[in-house]
Every structure is written in structure tokens, then in C-alpha cells.
Amino acid sequence: MSRILVSSRSFGQVAPIGNTILEEAGHDVERVGSEHRPLDAAKLARIVKEAAPHALLAGAEPIPREVLTASSNLRMVQKHGVGVDNIDLGAATELGIAVANAPATNTDAVADLTVGFMLALLRSIFPAADSTRAGKWERFVGRELGSITVGVVGTGQIGRSVIRRLSGFRPRILAFDVYQDAALSEKEGFEYVPLDQLLLESDLVTLHVPLMDATRKMISEKKLRLMKPTACLINIARGELVDEEALAEALASGGLAGAGVDVFATEPPQSSPLLKLKNVIATPHIGAYTSEAMETMATRCAETVVAVLAGNLPENVLNREALPADRPTAS
């Protein structure tokens, strides 16, 4: 029997199917208790050493080399999510530990929330609701989504899904991506432009790129100064894409009208200056939190763990070179 250590907060909590799949495959599932949170690398390394799991089913907590080497039993790390920027992929590959994610399982959920942020910001839905609840009867004048320019930074699966949802509103759409898809641009009717042009011309900017060295703080103080003072920024990707201090200053000084933020550089973000601002919609990293997405993600994660521990090589293993070449490939 293999032991699975679950450090993800949400795996098995919203959708129990993941636990069921693991247990029916004969694996022993152990969860990191709430008394150990928040998790840092040193704390997780101690837990991994004690539990000696064969697989770690992880969330957003840091998984550097010291965690990966804490137990010689560890054969794989499965991310309960898509981005693996919190996992030392190079060290895992060197150690022969498989790393897998759950691609395309939360695309619709994140895209839906993005459009929700857009409408909430444009129509001042939260200030209007607070005002009405306070006994006032203020008429907030907003803007129509179809009358503005939307800038989509990143046209991967989630960025594309956002663009498709916007087609019904018919705004002008600008996009930036290092890898441009001309066929997609023609089909969906948007234009690829340089990032600076997108920031200068857009009324709403939404971020959908992975976190890596090239994208860390890509929305810097300098980039924020390019945006219109009437514009809004939405970040549902990774907190570290944006300079939070610079964004807070721009929002507080009138350099930017508003922001929708589902992710923070540090989570939970008790000390983030963004939490103090009334023109910020802040949510607790709920982009993937729909019942449909959580069930799909839990299923994909559990099935991948079962496959890898059985000696197979699913397509969503990200460092296939870390594993023996004679392993069978699973779809």
C-alpha cells in the first residue's frame, strides 16, 4: 500500500471523489492537519519526513529541494491546480520525482470569475450594494462592457476562454502574448499588440500568464503609469505578476480607477496594502472554486497519482525525463 500525503487545503474537501479514487486503488491517504498551517518549506519538510509518503498531493505551499529530499519514498508530486511555480521542478527532475499538474480543469471557472470582476468593476456593483444596505439610494453611473477596450495579457487556455466569453458583449479586444496565435486572433476578432500599447489603450486589463522569471512583477510601477486613470486591472493568475505596493499606490492616488484581485504575493494576505482600498475587489483565491471545477480537478489529480504509482506515465506529467524511458504511457 502506498501512502499519499495531502498538503492541499481543498483536495477532498469540496469534491470527495478524489479521496474515493485513491482509497479504492488501495492507497492510504493522510492529510496535513490544520494545526500545521500556514505551511512553510521547513514545516512541510518535517511532515514529509515523518509521514514518508510515496506521493505528495500539493496546493500552493512552497515545495523546494528540502521538501523533495525529506523522504526517500517520495516518487511524485501532484499539484492540485495548474501552475507549478511553487515546486522546484529542476530539483524534482534531478531526484527522479515526477511532477504533474491538472491542466484545463479550472479554465471555465477562472474565465467566469474574470468576466464577473469586469462587470462588477464597470458597474460599481459592490459599492452600490454597500450603499443600499446602508440605507442610501445612490445612483452609480457605470460603463458598458461592449463600449470599452479590454486588454487580455496571455492567450493560453484561460485567456482564450475569457476572449470567447467577451464575444457576446462585443468590446474591442487587444491581446499580448509572447507566442501569438494568428488563427485564433482572426477567428475571435482580436488584435495582438505590444504590452505597452495594450496598457495604454485598454480600459480593463486582465492577466492570464504563468509565473516565471520573465513575468514576475511584469506589471511594475512603470507599466502601471502607462494605464489610463479610468482603467481597471484584474489579476486572477498569480499575485507575483504585479508589484502590489505600486498597484496600491496607483489605486490610492487616482492613477488607476479600480482592481479585481483574486491572488496575492503572500496568501493569506493579511498585510497587503490592497486590502485597505475601497476601489479593490479582493477575493481569497477562489478562481477554481466551483463544484464542477473542483470535481474535475480532484478526479484528474487522483487518477494521475494512481497511474504514476502504478508505473504509468500520464500526459500531464511535466518532467517526463525524470522517469525511466521504458515506463508505459497512459492517456
Instruction: Choose the catalytic residue: 267, 295, 320, 327.
Output: 267
Closest CA to 237 of 96, 12, 66, 83: 83
Instruction: Choose the catalytic residue: 9, 27, 285, 300.
Output: 285
Q: In terms of C-beta density within 10 A (0-12 exposed, 13-18 middle, 19 or more buried), how is residue 62 classed?
A: middle
Residues 243 and 221: their CA atoms lie apart, in Å, by: 7
- Count the Cβ atoms, other than its own, within 10 Å of residue 147: 12
Residue 259 pLDDT: 98
Query: Is 66 one of the catalytic residues?
Result: no
Residue 211 pLDDT: 94
In 3-state terms, what secondary structure has residue 281?
A: strand
Instruction: Choose the catalytic residue: 238, 240, 300, 303.
Output: 238
Largest pairwise CA distance in the chain: 69
What angle (nearest 5°) sits at the alpha carbon of residue 19, between those of residues 211 and 323? Answer: 55
User: Cell 467577451, residue?
Assistant: 166
Identify the helix (H) or strand (E) that includes residue 297.
Answer: helix 291-309
CATH topology of domain 3-105+290-330: Rossmann fold (3.40.50)
Residue 1 pLDDT: 77
* Amino acid in the structure at residue 55: A
Q: Which residues contact 125 (CB under 8 A, 6 or more apart)?
A: 119
CATH class of the domain comprising 107-282: alpha beta
Total number of residues shown for the chain: 331
- Count the Cβ atoms, other than its own, within 10 Å of residue 10: 19
In 3-state terms, what secondary structure has residue 186?
A: helix
- Compute and round to an integer the Cα radius of gyration of the chain: 21
Residue 331 pLDDT: 44
Residue 12 pLDDT: 87
Angle between helices 107-122 and 125-133 (to 10 degrees): 60
Residue 164 pLDDT: 97
Residues 8 and 78: their CA atoms lie apart, in Å, by: 10
Query: Is 285 one of the catalytic residues?
Result: yes
Residue 13 pLDDT: 86
In 3-state terms, what secondary structure has residue 204?
A: strand
* 3-105+290-330 shares its CATH topology with 107-282: yes
Closest CA to 99 of 55, 52, 65, 40: 55
> Would you give the DSSP letter of residue 241?
G
pLDDT in 10s for each residue of the chain, 331 residues: 799 999 999 998 888 999 999 999 999 999 999 899 889 999 999 999 999 999 999 999 999 999 999 999 999 999 999 999 999 999 999 999 999 999 999 999 999 999 999 999 999 999 999 999 999 999 999 999 999 999 999 999 999 999 999 999 999 999 999 999 999 999 999 999 999 999 999 999 999 999 999 999 999 999 999 999 999 999 999 999 999 999 999 999 999 999 999 999 998 898 899 999 999 999 999 999 999 999 999 999 999 999 999 999 999 999 999 887 655 554 4
What angle (nearest 5°) sits at the alpha carbon of residue 73, between those of residues 72 and 75? Answer: 105
| Domain edges within the chain | 3-105+290-330, 107-282
Residue 111 pLDDT: 98
Residues 113 and 29: their CA atoms lie apart, in Å, by: 32
Query: Is 267 one of the catalytic residues?
Result: yes
